[in-house]
Amino acid sequence: MSATPSREAAIPRQSAGWSATLSHARHVIGENPVTGFSFGLLALLIFLAMFGPLLAPFDPLASDTAAALQAPTARHLFGTDQLGRDIFSRVIVATRLDMAIAIFSVALVFVVGGLAGIAAGFFGGWTDRIVGRIGDTIMAFPLFVLAMGIVAALGNTVTNIIIATAIINFPLYARIARTEASIRRDAGYVMAARLTGNSDLRIALTTIMPNILPLMMVQMSLTMGYAILNAAGLSFIGLGVRPPTPEWGIMVAEGAGSIISGEWWIALFPGLALMVAVFCFNLIGDGLRDIVDPSRRT
Amino acid sequence: MLKLLFDRLLTTIPALIGVIVVSFLLTRVLPGDTAAYFAGPAATPQAIEQVRKQLGLDRPLPEQFEHYVLDLAKGNLGQSLTTGQPVLSDIKARLPASAELTLFGLILALLIAVPLGVAAAVKQGSTLDHACRAIATAGVSLPVFFTGLLLVYFFYFILQWSPAPLGRLDVFASAPNEVTGFYLIDSLIARDGETFRASLAQILLPGITLAIFSLAPIARITRASMLSVLSSEFVRTARASGLSARMVVVTYAFRNAMLPVVTTLGMVFSFLLGANVLVEKVFAWPGIGSYAVEALIASDFAPVQGFVLTMAILYIVLNLLIDIAYRLIDPRMRSAT
Amino acid sequence: MSAVPLLDISGLTVEFATRRGVVTAIQRVDISVAKGETVGIVGESGSGKSVTSYAVMRILDRAGRVAEGSIAFSGLDLTHAPESELRDLRGREMSMIFQNPRAALNPIRKVGHQIEDVLRQHARAGSGDAREKAIEALLQVRIQRPEERYDAYPFELSGGMCQRVVIALALACRPELLIADEPTTGLDVTTQKAVMDLLVDLTRDRGMSTILITHDLGLAAAYCDKVIVMEKGRVVETAAARDIFTRPAHPYTRKLMRATPRPGITLRDLLPEGEASPLPPPTSGDKTPLLKVENLVKEYPRPDQRNPIARFMPGGKAGAPGPFRAVDGISFEVARGESVGLVGESGCGKSTTSMMVMRLLDKTSGQIMFNGQDIGALAARDFARHPLRSKIQMVFQDPTDSLNPRYTAARAIMDPLYRLGGQSSSGTARARCEELARLVGLPADLLDRFPHQLSGGQKARVGIARAIALEPELVILDEPTAALDVSVQAVVLNLLADLKSTLGMSYLFVSHDLHVVQLLCDRVIVMNGGRIIEEGAASDVLERPQADYTRQLISAIPHPPV
């Protein structure tokens, strides 16, 4: 019993169908220009990831010692680094790699963690215990530290960064999916689906999963930013991507030493790119959460 | 109360076993030659063979695991190739630096984030509230190593307010007598104001970097949980009974709102311990994070493994403390076990 | 009664700013409460009865505001009083108790301290005597061993006990006015009566005025001097309690009154005059048993037995009690074409029983014979694909919760047709679905809507259509109307009765409300503590109850004068 009509009106929307979700999405984006802006930013990032190498004015790997350590000019918009490489070109070209790491690792954990969590929440018993134990073990480590250990042990490659990032996100996805599935396991409509002759597997896939999906999408967007930060952090300390490959984290690392002597631009621009990308995903995540679950608006 | 502690200690055992098994797996069951890893990149075949024997890598896996656990029990984490010291003594020597920095950052973050989150929730929709939300979103988007570099550029290079970002004390100062290993506290114990100021000047920037990083999730969760508690029925009852605003916010709302915040601290610690590694690298802080990074670059695996284990065990202990704190605040959890 | 009322609300309009613009929650409401008077505000959900009371206490949400009108309390205009003055009034001069008592108490503060907080705030106690006075307040709401309860946390107390604490809190400073917002909703009927009696005794003794907000006309009739009926934010009728039932003036009041279940009426009497067709003749079932339950038992392990480590703990559980028996060896029958009511308070085992019969839950021991076959022997998880699955169906308690938010009404109704009905072409399934919709009185144009686009009554119809889609022989009704307003309940109950006579099904009706059960059922089984207390023809059990417990249950249900 709530005294506000507005809150009462919000309750049915939580359990809305897709069409209503869409119209609500339009409403939220219309009301919240920030979300609209962040979707625009996302489009730009995707565009750069696809066509970056074509757009870059210079070869990102070509060094030109004569032009080393130049502050931003009209020719080199973001300046040049110690080897005289054009930072603008390197920042643009790096978009693809950073986005790819984030997207692949999140997609991997979305599928594996999501399915494991739904199985754990819906079937309970041994499935639940095994998934829970794996999650707990991963969570027993500080996540970045575990990622360091995994990459150090598996070998210093981009694939291993993707795997490590997926592994450290596994408990989060599995837990969300598990909680949502176990709440819904006892919902009236799931019992009703049993009565109408649906097998457990069918219920899990056709009744539980579609109802959890929107929440998982929100999570995906929120962890995307974290995945980018994580990958950049790993390459900052020299794991994963190796020089001279352009990647934002490693470029910040390359510029770190020059900060003390005042060459700010080497670290600044890749750092800013990193920040903007993460910021964009976080904003989208917040916006999506408003759409999916208006009651949790913050 | 003692039973509670005992119960909770029991529940850490599976986590500890998990951590030990994972760290074992990371080193032994991986593609590639583990002995070559431990011997380092410059090792001769003979040296690799010697390491293999020394580590017992020529024996079956279960036996290796047994040796591994026994070594751990004895505190033997192997030798560092770079420093030539046992890993355990290296870590012991460097742990206080990391702990001091992490705690400094966390306390700073709590001091700012909790009041900010509470104020934002109480004055929902105000400028302060919008500011809190902006900080929360921006804070989680900042790569921690990048924040650190920006701070160094402004406060060291441009403004020259801060000393060079090189370690816990500048070269001219000497470390205080070790009591806790925390320079800030040890220098106070020694009543050495100058060392205190010097170490404070050094820890300020990295501490702020960490604080900015962990501030966002704490402020966010504080605000959200405060909002939900403020709209709860018992707060409405408290209001309807005419309790003063202060009483309602502090005694009724705040204490309840702290429960989710305490739970989130576990995650914040996870982030902090990770971010610590990056910050230590930026500020050349002589803690276990930079120790691990140096070892990584030199392909010196034993210190990395020791570091991962130490961090995991530290984190388990922190989670234990958080859990006990939670149970102390919430009477429902006290009798639930 | 004194000439000047204690509380005088006149022309009160409250608006809420929502994302869809300004919504008027209540409009030009006039209510006056004299000193010592008990006034009932009655209405269905959305009538604005709670908003009115929040406006009086000035604890409306941030989005709400008093747009017009005045609220005078002891001559003071509350709509313009400063917050500091209001704070002094709240708890001291007027207090409020809410629905859901457990949520109304601070979960991590001892209840004694919570009472002390109020006493101290209003300077009714100092640090020296606060504890003593709090214990006295607990004593006055008839809480046994108040010294011990003082140190209890809300989660350690039962729902009824929590509501007593909330009352103690509200009355601690001896206010002049008490607003009780659905104070007994969610409590069991026997607890409900105890709490209401206590409330009335205390307020009468002290000469307090009370506003009782409720959806239950019976409750208002039993306890109030004056009744105000609200509909859609407006007051439609104000009258003395004894008059409103004998001479209801407004059509809405008449409709509401008729829809309230009470002894000595038939189902059709619930519907508005002129709308009811004659009741179908009672189906003379052939009395062959359809369902036969024998010695059915369900045990659950006690919580501390689940943790294997706990057993080896110091202070071990050598003398631990056995597992908890939710259902303790019950036997009963349901004949073909018969309706049987399974009645009891929460925790009596009625729901567990129905879940086992439904084959959603495995029994511990005993037999469940359906058409002569022991379906209890089949594991619940395999029963989904059993041919008998289609013969036992269920209508759920909460129509919202029981519909998949991602399915349209049509898809929800067609799901059983596809899965168990052997339908594969969408054309024939759709035709059958439309036929079912007609049967349950659901307009065909609503079939393509999603649950959130339907009203509670419409959702209930979808749930019923789904349950009867496969022409089951036994339908279990699990409190099918508990989440509905009384006027909707009246319609749904009648629909169920009509369907039964058309389709010749048997019903097992699980409910806490004997009056409702009696309307629909031939026989009634009363359960308590996992056992059957009494069993017999519905009219016999209601009119001549044998067991003490049944008598208690019947007398506890408030109802309007017949």
Taking any CB pair shorter than 8 Å as contact, residues of chain A touching chain C are 1, 3-9, 12-13, 15-20, 27, 31, 187-189, 191-200, 207, 210-211
Cis check for the bond before A244: say yes or no (omega within 30 of 0).
yes
Give CATH 1.10.3720.10 domain extents, chain B: 88-336
Confirm or reject contact between B177 and chain C (CB < 8 A): no
- Minimum mean pLDDT among B236-245, B304-313, C298-307, C409-418: which range? C298-307
| Closest partner CB to C452 (pick from A12, A192, A200) | A12
Q: Which residues of A touch C181 (CB under 8 A)?
A: 1
Residue C302, CB half-sphere, CA atoms under 13 Å: how many? 10
Q: Give yes or no for a contact between C486 and C260, defined as CB atoms under 8 angstroms apart.
A: yes
Cis check for the bond before C472: say yes or no (omega within 30 of 0).
no
The structure tokens 């109360």 sit at B1
Q: Report the distance separating Cα C131 and Cα C172, nearest Å.
A: 12
C55 to chain B: nearest residue by CA?
Answer: B240
| Closest partner CB to B297 (pick from A149, A238, A271) | A238
| Closest partner CB to B237 (pick from C89, C98, C155) | C98
| Three-state DSSP class for residue A229 | helix
Residue C562 confidence (pLDDT) above 60: no
Q: Report the distance separating Cα A17 and Cα A291, nearest Å.
A: 12
| Closest partner CB to A275 (pick from B22, B141, B157) | B141
pLDDT band at C46 (very low <50, low <70, confident <90, very high): confident
pLDDT: which is higher, A226 or C321:
A226
| Three-state DSSP class for residue B299 | coil
Residue B190 confidence (pLDDT) above 60: yes
Question: Would you state the pLDDT for residue C281?
Answer: 65
**Could you report the per-residue pLDDT of A153-163, keeping only the tens digit for each?**
888 888 999 99
Structure tokens at C384: 């989904």
Residue C415 confidence (pLDDT) above 60: yes
B16-34 average pLDDT score: 76
In a domain, A196, yes or no: yes
Residue C60 confidence (pLDDT) above 80: yes
| Crossing angle of the two packed helices B255-282 and A143-154, in degrees rounded to 10 | 40
Report the share of chain A in percent with pLDDT over 90.
11
Q: How far is B158 from chain A (nearest CA, A)?
A: 8
Q: Give CATH for domain B88-336.
A: 1.10.3720.10
Report CA torsion sign: C474, C478, C481, C484.
negative
B193-221 average pLDDT score: 89
| Three-state DSSP class for residue C365 | strand
Question: Would you state the pLDDT for residue B210?
Answer: 92
At A41, which CATH number?
1.10.3720.10
* Average model confidence (pLDDT) across chain B: 85
| Closest partner CB to B270 (pick from A143, A155, A233) | A143
**Which chains contact C through at least 3 pairs of Cβ atoms less than 8 Å apart?**
A, B
Residue B231 confidence (pLDDT) above 70: yes
Structure tokens at C391: 């013969």
A211 to chain C: nearest residue by CA?
Answer: C406
In a domain, A223, yes or no: yes
Q: Are strands C474-478 and C392-395 parallel, antiparallel or unpaired?
A: parallel
Domains in chain A, number = 1
pLDDT band at B299 (very low <50, low <70, confident <90, very high): confident
Show which of residues 70-129 on chain B sit within 8 Å of chain C, judged by CB atoms. 124-125
| Three-state DSSP class for residue C252 | helix
Question: Would you state the pLDDT for residue A24?
Answer: 64
Indicate yes or no: CB of B332 within 8 angstroms of CB of C59.
no
- Minimum mean pLDDT among B153-167, B313-327, C301-315, C469-483: which range? C301-315
- Minimum mean pLDDT among A11-20, A165-174, B85-94: which range? A11-20
ipTM value for the complex: 0.85
Question: Would you state the pLDDT for residue A28?
Answer: 61
pLDDT band at B142 (very low <50, low <70, confident <90, very high): confident
C153 to chain B: nearest residue by CA?
Answer: B331
Residue A206 confidence (pLDDT) above 80: yes
Indicate yes or no: CB of C103 within 8 angstroms of CB of B124.
no
Residue C284 confidence (pLDDT) above 60: no
Question: Hey, what amino acid is at B158?
Answer: I
Question: Would you state the pLDDT for residue B196?
Answer: 86
- Closest to A147 measured CA to CA, from A42, A245, A226: A226
- Closest to C350 measured CA to CA, from C326, C375, C380: C326
Show which of residues 191-230 on chain C sit within 8 Å of chain A, judged by CB atoms. none
Q: Which of B12, B241, B330, B335 is the best residue to mutate to test the C interface, defined by the most C CB atoms within 10 Å of its own CB?
A: B241
Question: Would you state the pLDDT for residue B335?
Answer: 60
Residue C22 CB neighbours (<10 A): 11
pLDDT band at C87 (very low <50, low <70, confident <90, very high): confident
Q: How far is C18 from chain A (nearest CA, A)?
A: 5
Confirm or reject contact between C306 and chain A (CB < 8 A): no
pLDDT band at C247 (very low <50, low <70, confident <90, very high): confident
Question: Would you state the pLDDT for residue C321?
Answer: 59
C416-442 average pLDDT score: 87
Confirm or reject contact between C459 and chain A (CB < 8 A): no
Question: Would you state the pLDDT for residue C276?
Answer: 65
B310-326 average pLDDT score: 88
B42-63 average pLDDT score: 78
Q: How far is C42 from chain A (nearest CA, A)?
A: 15
In a domain, A13, yes or no: no
Report CA torsion sign: C192, C193, C194, C195.
positive
Residue A3 confidence (pLDDT) above 60: no
In a domain, A3, yes or no: no
pTM value? 0.82
In a domain, A9, yes or no: no
C418-428 average pLDDT score: 81
Residue A293 confidence (pLDDT) above 70: no
**Could you report the per-residue pLDDT of C322-373, keeping only the tens digit for each?**
788 889 999 999 998 899 999 988 888 888 899 899 888 899 999 999 988 8
Question: Would you state the pLDDT for residue B129?
Answer: 87
Q: How far is B267 from chain A (nearest CA, A)?
A: 8
Question: Would you state the pLDDT for residue C310?
Answer: 44
Helix (H) or strand (E) holding C334: strand C324-335
Q: Which residues of A touch B146 (CB under 8 A)?
A: 252, 267, 271, 274-275
Indicate yes or no: CB of B278 within 8 angstroms of CB of A233.
yes
Residues with Cβ within 8 Å of A17's Cβ and at least 6 positions away in sequence, in order, are: C405, C406, C408, C450, C452
Radius of gyration of chain B (CA): 24
**Could you report the per-residue pLDDT of A91-100, keeping only the tens digit for each?**
888 889 888 9
Residues with Cβ within 8 Å of A110's Cβ and at least 6 positions away in sequence, in order, are: A173, A216, A220
pLDDT band at A201 (very low <50, low <70, confident <90, very high): confident
- Minimum mean pLDDT among A257-266, C237-246, C401-410: which range? A257-266
Question: Would you state the pLDDT for residue A105?
Answer: 92
Residue C113 confidence (pLDDT) above 90: yes
- Minimum mean pLDDT among B56-60, B76-80, C144-148, C303-307: which range? C303-307
Question: Would you state the pLDDT for residue C33?
Answer: 93
Residue B2 confidence (pLDDT) above 60: yes
- Backbone φ and ψ for C202, nearest 5 degrees, come out as -65, -45
A192 to chain C: nearest residue by CA?
Answer: C402
B246 to chain C: nearest residue by CA?
Answer: C121
Structure tokens at C393: 């169906």
Q: Report the distance separating Cα C37 and Cα C540, nearest Å.
A: 38
Region label for C308, one of left (φ > 0), alpha (ψ between -120 and 50) or beta (otherwise): alpha
Containing domain of residue A199, as a range? Answer: 18-296
Q: How far is A256 from chain C (nearest CA, A)?
A: 48
pLDDT band at A107 (very low <50, low <70, confident <90, very high): very high
pLDDT band at C7 (very low <50, low <70, confident <90, very high): very high
pLDDT band at C420 (very low <50, low <70, confident <90, very high): confident
**Which chains contact A through at least 3 pairs of Cβ atoms less than 8 Å apart?**
B, C
| Closest partner CB to A5 (pick from C18, C415, C419) | C18
Q: Which residues of C touch A19 (CB under 8 A)?
A: 450
Encode B252-266: b = buried (16+ Cβ within 10 Å), e = exposed: bbbbbbbbbbbebbb
**Could you report the per-residue pLDDT of C166-216, keeping only the tens digit for each?**
999 999 888 999 999 988 887 888 888 888 999 999 988 889 999 999 988
Q: Which residues of A touch C408 (CB under 8 A)?
A: 17
Q: Give yes or no for a contact between A144 and A233, defined as CB atoms under 8 angstroms apart.
A: yes
Q: In residues, how long is chain A?
A: 298
Residues with Cβ within 8 Å of B295's Cβ and at least 6 positions away in sequence, in order, are: B80, B82, B301, B302, B303, B304, B307
Indicate yes or no: CB of A278 within 8 angstroms of CB of B297.
no
* Average model confidence (pLDDT) across chain C: 86
| Three-state DSSP class for residue C4 | coil
Q: Cα dist. B66→B21, B38, B56, B60, C531 in Å? A: 11, 19, 10, 10, 57
Question: Would you state the pLDDT for residue A11?
Answer: 35
Show which of residues 219-248 on chain B sit within 8 Å of chain C, judged by CB atoms. 231-234, 236-245, 247
Question: Hey, what amino acid is at B290?
Answer: S
